[in-house]
Amino acid sequence: MRIQAAFFAAAVAALLFLRPGPLWWALVLLASAAVVAAELLNTAIEQLADELHPNDSPRIRIVKDCAAAAVLVAALGALGVAAALAVRLLYRE
């Protein structure tokens, strides 16, 4: 969660520095919020799984892996938004 918070702060700082249009602000903030939300859900699922089934279980491991993969997918989506913004700013007409 600390890493996501640091990246969120960096994203906001970059937006303030680069001053893109309102649509880009919305896209970056929405993508950032999706990553934080996915991380919070991942943490909740892992804590609940550990509480309900403290012993090692292959099915619980799959659930935890899927929750962690959701965070990865959200983070990759956010990187996609960042890349699109970078391309837009570099090749502005």
Is 74:35 a contact under the CB 8 Å cutoff? yes
Per-residue pLDDT, averaged over 76-88, amounts to: 94
Decide if 47 contacts 91 (C-beta within 8 A). Answer: no
What are 26-63's pLDDT values in tens digits? 999 999 999 999 999 999 999 999 999 989 899 999 99
Dist. CA 2–CA 77, nearest whole Å: 19
Three-state secondary-structure class, residue 5: helix
The domain segmentation of the chain, as residue ranges, is 2-90
Q: What is the distance between the alpha carbons of residues 53 and 89, in angstroms, rounded to a whole number?
A: 49
Is domain 2-90 in CATH 1.10.287, yes or no? yes
pLDDT exceeds cutoff 70 at 22 = yes
